[in-house]
Amino acid sequence: MNSVPVLQVSELKVHFKIANGLFSPPTIIRAVDGISFDVSEGQTLGLVGESGCGKSTTARAILKLVQPTAGSVHIEGVQIDTLKESEMRPLRQRVQMIFQDPYASLNPRMTVGNIISEPLSVHDICHGDDQRLEVMRLMDMVGLNPRYMNRYPHEFSGGQRQRIGIARALAVQPKLIVCDEAVSALDVSIQAQVINLLMDLQQQLGLSYVFIAHDLAVVRHIAHRVGVMYLGRIVELADSDDLYQSPTHPYTQALLSAVPVPDPTVSQQRIKLVGEVPSPDSVYPGCPFVDRCPVAEDQCNHTVPTLTPGAHQVSCLVQSIDLPADSVEVSG
Amino acid sequence: MNKPLLQVENLGVCFHTDNGTVNAVNGVSFQLEAGETLGIVGESGSGKSVTNLAIMGLIPSPPGEITSGEVRFRGEDLLTMDSQHIREIRGNKIAMIFQDPMTALNPFLTVEEQLTEVTQLHLGHSRREARAHAIDMLEKVGIPAASRRIDEYPHQFSGGMRQRVMIAMALSCKPDILIADEPTTALDVTIQAQILELMSELQHQEGTAIIFITHDLGVVANTCHRVMVMYAGKPVEKATTREIFASPHHPYSLGLLNSALRWDESHGGMLRAIPGQPPDLTQLGDGCAFAPRCEYCVDACETAVPPLISVDKNQTREHACIQDLPSIRQTEVDV
């Protein structure tokens, strides 16, 4: 067992400056505001949260598609945020991404064979007949008929296109794949097929995933650990079953209670959240969730909560005072 | 004489395209009573949305064509009605909410202009009355500072707020029927919960009948009284929500239920996905459209399209499958 995690994110911050004209100071959007997590080999970390919570920006920072404002990202022990683009290129073989929209992420003018073989050429992995055989092997692996390698993306359905995206990501034999809403645009029956494929590939190839989704049921199924994000921060991070069975942060509890269970015999207790996610352009002197929190206390207005250490990490001032005993596990 | 509020009988819609004729909807029948919510479930291309566009008289022709059927609203056939008359019903008695509020609202008009148009037209409100009514509606759907925000443009609203504006607009004339086409699919779960609650509250107050088009079985389980499952333009099963979740009679319904993930249970292992792809609607064969993906398929499934048959005396449950799925599954369990 390799002791170095495949991915280490520590105190990552990504802030964007929005210019307000010549004489006014720029607005700072704190898209990601100090998050830390590890992903070890063969593991899946799920990141969930509402739109604008910073999930996708985190994904982009992991691939060095945006430059972090502070903090660091290590891939297999190598710090990538300080690397030059030329030094980064070999590392791009180690980490790949699958995108949400299988219609927009494939070049409509390239055949499927060319889409999948492009990374093989770019990274100088194989050429000529070897390359052709490799493309056929990859297509077979993701459940596409290799006979279709001369077809164009528009000739495939959404689920098949997502398989093309997966084959392209696998071409360079990565260790880590970042899936940003990879199954959200698919119909349920097709979504189940793609989830099965991703889990199957993980077992075969020992892949690690960072799986970003707003669908909490999908994340529970695929992820080993889950982080709940709110306004650029992780408010709760725990093993999947632990998080879903005993959610501790009031935001996690509210988020889960809002997801309808596909079973008419279950009556759900909704925890109502008032309002919507506030804008990430303001600085909060206290907990950023305070305005919507059903259990907020006075201290939440001026003290910033931090994640508790241990296996089940929670960032809440109120709950950390009297956590239910069975939901806290301290790792050795 | 007790006529149903809405009765759809053998509706057929096709689209003539360069690649052949697409039979988008092929023999859909259902009825809807006041105060009830009917869920229409199915994958992309199953004909859910086209069915409802046909009810609203919104099928573009050409390329679309309504090939058969009747849509009776309080006994009157909407399909043969003249356009003058149908305009009095559309937006007034039958209203619709769309999936994407940004494309359904006009970006050049303020919320006031869009909300007051419908009441000035249908209810004969003066400008002042219409504005007061619109503010009232916005408050009802939970938009804070409604009297100020009514003068803003759609882009100044968030996704959830825009969807509330759409709902306010749809409900302005107190419609008898509200057709909601994936109204919460583009929204975050916390906002979805707010919108669903709002819709059921308004249903309780006004007795509105709702047709809820969705692919989210969680939403169906929480909001709908009855469900119609569609596949390749046809209904394949109709039942009450409880019945269909407890014991689906069509293998496609079963496949959908198996594919639906629950957050409140630990699954582990592989999902029972439906293999294959939805069919090409220009090339439907002679048999059951689901047969190529069906694990219960027998030879007879490939030669004739199974009709909808009812399984109980009250005729509330229907399914289009020649197999007796519940008893096959029972034997599977026994073995």
Q: Which residue of B has its CA nearest to A251?
A: B190
Closest Cα of chain B to A277: distance in Å? 10
Task: In whole angstroms, give the CA distance from residue B76 to residue B85.
Answer: 11
Show the tokens assigned to A209: 């995933």
- Using pLDDT thresholds of 50, 70 and 90, give the confidence band for residue A165: very high
Determine contact: B270 vs chain A, CB below 8 A: yes
- Count H helices and E strands in chain A, helices first: 9, 11
pLDDT at A190 over 90: no
- The three-state secondary structure class of A145 is coil
pLDDT tens for each residue of B243-253: 999 989 999 99
Contact between B271 and A196 using a beta-carbon 8 Å cutoff: yes
The residue written with tokens 């569609």 in the block is B230
Strands B226-231, B234-240: pairing is antiparallel
Subunit contact A261:B44, Cβ cutoff 8 A: no
**Contact, A5 vs A36, CB < 8 A?**
no
Stretch (H or E) spanning A168:
helix A158-170
How far is B145 from chain A, CA to nearest CA, in Å?
13
**How far is the C-alpha of B88 from the C-alpha of B122, rounded, in Å?**
7
Q: What is the pLDDT of residues A113-152, one digit of tens each?
A: 999 999 999 998 999 999 999 999 999 888 888 888 899 9
Nearest CA in chain B to A193: B273
Report chain A residues whose CB lies below 8 A from the CB of B277: 157, 159-160, 190
B52: exposed, middle or buried (C-beta count within 10 Å: 0-12, 13-18, 19+)? Answer: buried
ipTM over 0.90: no
Which of B264, B265, B295 to substitute to test the interface with A, most A CBs within 10 Å? B264
The torsion defined by the Cα of A238, A240, A246 and A250, in degrees rounded to 10, comes to 60
B220 close to A (CB below 8 A): yes
Residues of A in contact with B219 (CB under 8 A): 260
Kind of pairing between the strands at B209-214 and B37-41: parallel
* Model confidence pLDDT, tens digit, residues A298-316: 888 888 898 888 889 999 9
In a structure prediction context, what are the per-residue pLDDT tens digits for chain B, which is 335 residues long? Answer: 467 899 999 999 989 888 788 888 988 999 999 999 999 998 888 888 899 989 988 888 888 889 999 999 988 888 888 888 888 888 889 999 887 777 888 999 999 999 998 889 888 889 999 999 999 889 888 888 888 899 999 988 887 788 889 888 888 888 999 999 988 877 788 888 888 888 888 899 888 999 999 888 999 999 999 999 999 989 999 999 999 999 899 999 999 998 888 888 876 678 888 888 888 887 777 889 898 888 888 888 888 888 888 877 666 788 888 888 888 888 877 76
Which residues 151-190 on chain A approach chain B with CB closer than 8 angstroms? 157-160, 187-190
**Residue closest to A194 by CA, chosen among A225, A169, A173:** A169
H helix or E strand, kind and range, residue B165: helix B159-171
Q: Please list every residue in chain B whose beta carbon sits closer than 8 Å to the beta carbon of residue A256.
A: 263
Do residue B192 and residue A258 have CB atoms under 8 angstroms apart?
yes
Domain extents in chain A: 7-94+174-331, 95-173
Q: Determine the distance in angstroms separating the CA of B42 from the nearest CA of chain A, rounded to an integer.
A: 9
- CA–CA distance, A111 with A126 (Å, rounded to integer): 18
Q: How many CB atoms lie within 10 A of CB A155?
A: 12
Q: Distance between CA A196 and CA A142 in Å, rounded?
A: 10
CB-based contact A244 B262, cutoff 8 Å: no
Mutation site, A252, A263, A268, A273, interface B, largest B CB count within 10 A: A263
Q: What's the pLDDT at B312? A: 72
Q: What is the dihedral of CA B196, B197, B200, B206, to 10 degrees?
A: -120
For residue B243, the chain A residue with the least C-alpha distance is: A264
Give pLDDT, residue A327. Answer: 36
- Least Cα distance to A177 among A190, A168, A188 occurs for A168
Name chain B contacts of A260, Cβ cutoff 8 Å.
193, 196, 216, 218-219, 221-222
Sheet of strand A27-39: strand arrangement: A27-39, A7-18, A70-75, A78-79
To probe the interface with B, which of A145, A187, A241 has the most B CB atoms within 10 Å?
A187
Nearest-by-Cβ selection for B190 from A158, A192, A254: A254
Give A45-97 pLDDT, tens digit per residue. 999 988 888 898 999 999 999 999 999 999 999 999 888 888 888 888 999 99
Contacts B263 to A, Cβ<8 Å: 216-217, 220, 244, 256, 259, 261
Cβ separation of A192 and B273 shorter than 8 Å?
Answer: yes
Q: How far is B6 from chain A (nearest CA, A)?
A: 25
The topology under which CATH files domain A7-94+174-331 is: Rossmann fold (3.40.50)
- Chain A stretch 234-273, residues whose beta carbon is closer than 8 A to a beta carbon of chain B: 241, 244, 254-266, 268, 270, 272-273
Of A189, A217, A254, nearest to B262 by CB-CB distance is A217
For residue A91, give both structure tokens.
């590392």
